[in-house]
Amino acid sequence: MPQISTADFKNGMTLALDEGLFNLVEFQHVKPGKGGAFVRTTLKNVRTGAVLERTYRAGERMERAIVDKAEMQFLYRDGGDYVFMNNSTYEQLNVTAATLGDAANYIVDGSTAVMLMYQDEVIGVDLPAAVELTITETEPGIQGDRVSGAKKPATLETGLVVQVPLFIEPGERVKVDTRSGEFISRA
C-alpha cells in the first residue's frame, strides 16, 4: 500500500491504521505560535462506524488504503445474504445484511449499486440519492381527509416503513431519499 503524508490528506480518503480501516471525515492543519505544526483529524471506522479523534505531527507518514468501486446488480436474497453480480466480470458475490446496513432497505431485484471494495472485502455501498420503490401496504385515503401536510405510514416492497401523504395508495411507485429515508414524491 502507498505511504502518504499528512500534507496529502483529503476528506473522504481511506487510511489503513493499526486499529483498522478508517475514513478521513475531517482534518485541520494547526500551526501554533510555539512548537511544531500538527494535524487534527476526525476518523470514522469503515466497518463499525465508530468515530475517532486523532492528532498527528505534520509530515507524519501512514498507509493509504486503496478502495475500489465496482458497479454491481442485485440478483436475489439467499437466506440472510444478498447476491450481487459484477456488471463487468459477471462474477457473483454474497454480501451479508450487516455489511449493507441501511442500504438493504433500498435494494430491490435488478437494482444497481456501487460496492466499495477493499482487497476482496465489501466495506460499503454507494446508493443513488433517491430510489423508486412500490408501496405494498398503507391505509386507504378517505375522501375529504386532505389536511395539508398530514402523513400516514406506508410499507414499501423492501419492508421499509416511510411516512407518505394521505393521498398515496397501495401499488403506487414513490421516490424515497436514501440518505434520510424520507418520501420525496410520486414516481
Per-residue confidence at 148, pLDDT binned at 50, 70, 90?
low
Torsion of CA 158, 161, 164, 169, to 10 degrees: 60
129 phi/psi in degrees, rounded to 5 = -60, -30
Task: Please calculate the CA angle 11-84-186 and round it to the nearest 5 degrees.
Answer: 75
Tell me, what's the pLDDT at 180? 87
Report the predicted TM-score, pTM, of the whole model to 2 decimal places: 0.72
6-49 pLDDT, tens digit each: 888 988 888 988 888 898 999 999 898 888 899 999 999 888 88
What is the spatial order of strands in the sheet that 130-138 belongs to?
A: 161-165, 151-156, 130-138, 173-177, 183-186
Residue ranges covered by each domain of the chain: 3-64, 67-126, 130-186
80-127 pLDDT, tens digit each: 888 999 888 888 988 888 888 888 888 888 888 899 888 888 888 888
CATH topology of domain 130-186: OB fold (Dihydrolipoamide Acetyltransferase, E2P) (2.40.50)
Indicate the class that CATH gives domain 3-64. mainly beta
Domain 67-126 homologous superfamily, CATH: Nucleic acid-binding proteins (2.40.50.140)
Q: Are the beta carbons of 14 and 46 closer than 8 angstroms?
A: yes
Tell me, what's the pLDDT at 144? 61
Q: How far apart are CA 87 and CA 78, in angstroms?
A: 19
% of the chain beyond a pLDDT of 70: 95
HSE toward the beta carbon, residue 110, CA cutoff 13 A: 2
Tell me, what's the pLDDT at 43? 93
